[in-house]
């Protein structure tokens, strides 16, 4: 999770987030190269004492500053489109769960199992245990198996919400009357925190999202214990 003064992304826990970080680094490299080139040209022109009478209305220069940005946009657009389709891909999920946004908590339903539904409320500050994170801990975590394709169905019961877990690279709107879906794969065990990313009312800041990734065996044991 992010900490105080952290400027970079959170450590990725899914292949999607890894690709997002790679694309961010790629785009920042291109932007830095453009900034350096333009800055160098501006400083050179300001310090230059010579004049060129044939520079104005030059067809060669206009062709160059039209073609070069087009090439740069191609280098940015192709990886971006590839990543966009990867984010929307939902194929052969092993587990499906449904997250429903409420004012102001989340409820989860595991449709693959019977009677596996629960509400997830934020733990008040005066009830936190030592080592718990303020405004992020919940009474019931959503548990998912790691190393498996997981599909999440997201909707809302009242107003607009947004189900977001930054370390997994997932963010999707919870819209009343609409069922949105996303797919992710968690490649390491751990507890991953998120928050509602759509301003949804007075307690918008108090409906965190907590995903716990465990092994498939531990997930099955959790399902059996919770169902009983």
Matching residue, tokens 């022109």 = 45
Look at residue 89 and tell me whether its pLDDT is greater than 70: yes
Residue 117 contacts by C-beta under 8 Å, 6 or more apart in sequence?
Answer: 107, 108, 109, 110
Residues 211 and 189: beta-carbon distance below 8 Å: no
Return the SS3 of 93.
coil
25-54, pLDDT tens digit by residue?
Answer: 999 999 999 999 999 988 988 888 777 766
Q: How far apart are CA 45 and CA 164, in angstroms?
A: 47
**Burial label, 187 (beta-carbon count in 10 A; 0-12, 13-18, 19+):** middle
- Per-residue pLDDT, 173: 92
Q: Does residue 194 carry a pLDDT above 70? A: yes
Domains (ranges, CATH) in the chain? Answer: 15-88 (no CATH), 95-227 (2.60.40.420)
If you average pLDDT over residues 163-177, what whole number do you get? 91
44: left (phi over 0), alpha (psi -120 to 50) or beta: alpha
Tens-place pLDDT, residues 48-82: 877 776 666 677 878 888 898 899 899 889 888 88
Kindly report the pTM of this predicted structure: 0.80
């Amino acid at each position: 999770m992010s900490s105080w003064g952290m400027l970079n992304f959170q450590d990725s826990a899914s292949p999607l987030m890894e690709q997002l970080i790679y694309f961010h680094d790629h785009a920042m490299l291109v932007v830095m190269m453009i900034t350096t080139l333009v800055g160098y040209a501006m400083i050179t022109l300001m310090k230059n004492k010579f004049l060129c009478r044939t520079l104005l209305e030059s067809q060669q220069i206009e062709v160059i500053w039209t073609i070069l940005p087009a090439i740069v946009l191609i280098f940015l657009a192709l990886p971006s489109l590839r990543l966009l389709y990867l984010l929307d891909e939902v194929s052969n999920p092993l587990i499906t769960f449904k997250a429903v946004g409420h004012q102001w908590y989340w409820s989860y339903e595991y449709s693959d199992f019977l009677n596996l539904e629960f509400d997830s409320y934020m733990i008040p500050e005066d009830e936190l245990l030592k080592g718990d994170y303020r405004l992020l801990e919940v009474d019931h975590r959503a548990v998912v198996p790691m190393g498996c394709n997981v599909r999440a169905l997201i909707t809302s019961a009242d107003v607009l919400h947004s189900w977001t877990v930054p370390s997994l690279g997932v963010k999707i709107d919870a819209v009343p009357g609409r069922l949105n879906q996303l797919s992710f794969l968690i490649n390491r065990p751990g507890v991953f925190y998120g928050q509602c990313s759509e301003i949804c009312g007075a307690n918008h800041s108090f409906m965190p999202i907590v995903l716990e990734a465990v092994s498939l065996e531990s997930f099955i044991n959790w399902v059996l214990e919770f169902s009983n």
